[in-house]
Structure 1
């Protein structure tokens, strides 16, 4: 339980936000707005907010994008534009992993989910945005928010190839991620 102490300390700090504005550049160009669900996923919302406040998400690419499914980003360790992106998707942040906060909220179009490894308590900094419903994810991944504006921008994000959806060439990037109130 000690490894979650920092995450719980983040939660103990009053939430200063309830959302994000993300500027995206590449094949998609524009700003999306996200409402974070502090009530149902307080640890995950607090972690995303803390990472965004440091500017660590700025310059991070969408490294895994599967048409008809989702666009994944948030690898602040290995997913910065201009770096060697061969390991994008394998890293996280300096903060500890977060225990799962599963709810009965379904994975609908525009929902933001936290990416994780096989261990349900391994979410850290990476998240994904659903292009279409993915009900097979229900109860398996934490729903942390939803897109409230800019799904047309999300729909334009450069798609990856193959079953894993790895983006080849120049991926789209989050140029700036701002915390909103």
Structure 2
């Protein structure tokens, strides 16, 4: 009887965990909607992991900062990077850089969204990347801000860069608009 009760409790906890994840993914205040020419990418933001970075991305999205910004560095089998208004990988917003919010709890898997930075761990500003494949070698070294919950097929269509030029993209695809889902309701 004790075994059956334990199974029942485990099943209830599993259902609660799954419904909690679904609620997090469906939270419009923490869902970023990127519209491209190929379709829409929905990202469940993770303020539980990186509250300052998530707040920055939402602030910039609400200001229209990301609208029209290109995917300037896209490496096949690795990641697609954006968020630089100059399109060179050297730019950012006029806001101060952020201190790292690295996580030992989560890993960089396909669809994970992380903040780009220079060699200084406390230099993330506006640029972010979407993982095209698993990249656990980034774990604990870059800030995770979310996960793609819908539209990975759109991410996969982003124009890839030249491998000889570290993924630099000539005639890159752009984010037409970037919005917080709560602002679209």
Common fold, TM-score beyond 0.5? yes
CA distance in structure 2 between the aligned counterparts of 1:110 and 1:151, rounded to whole angstroms: 7
Task: Describe the SS at the equivalent of 1:45.
Answer: helix
Report the structure number with the largest CA radius of gyration. 2
TM normalised by structure 1 equals 0.82
CA RMSD of the aligned region, Å?
A: 1.0
Tell me, which stretches of 5 or more residues in structure 2 are unaligned?
1-27
SS of residue matched to 1:153: helix
Pairing of 1:14-93 with structure 2 (within 5 A)? 17-25=29-37, 29-76=38-85, 78-79=86-87, 88-93=88-93
Structure 1 residues without counterparts, runs of 5 or longer: 1-15, 80-87
- Distance in 2, matches of 1:103 and 1:144, equals 10
Deviation at 1:24, TM superposition (A): 1.1
Q: Distance in 2 between matches of 1:17 and 1:95?
A: 22
State the partner residue of 2:116: 115
* Residue 98 (1) aligns with residue 107 (2): no
Q: Is 1:124 paired with 2:122?
A: no
Which residue is 1:10 aligned to? Answer: none
* Partner Cα distance (2:125, 2:31) in 1: 18
Q: TM-score, normalization: structure 2?
A: 0.81
Q: Partners of 1:62 and 1:180 in 2: how far apart?
A: 21
Distance in 2 of aligned mates of 1:65 and 1:162: 9
In the TM superposition, what is the alpha-carbon distance from 1:32 to its structure 2 partner?
0.6
Partner of 1:154: 155
Figure out how many residues of one structure are paired with residues of the other and give that number. Answer: 153
Structure 1 runs of 4+ aligned residues shifted over 2 Å read: none
Q: Which has the higher helix share?
A: 2
Distance 1:35 1:98 in 2: 20
Instruction: Name whichever structure is richer in strand by fraction.
Output: 1
Task: Show CA shifts across 1:38-74 (max 9, x none).
Answer: 1110000000000000001000000000000000000
C-alpha distance in structure 1 between counterparts of 2:50 and 2:72, whole Å: 24
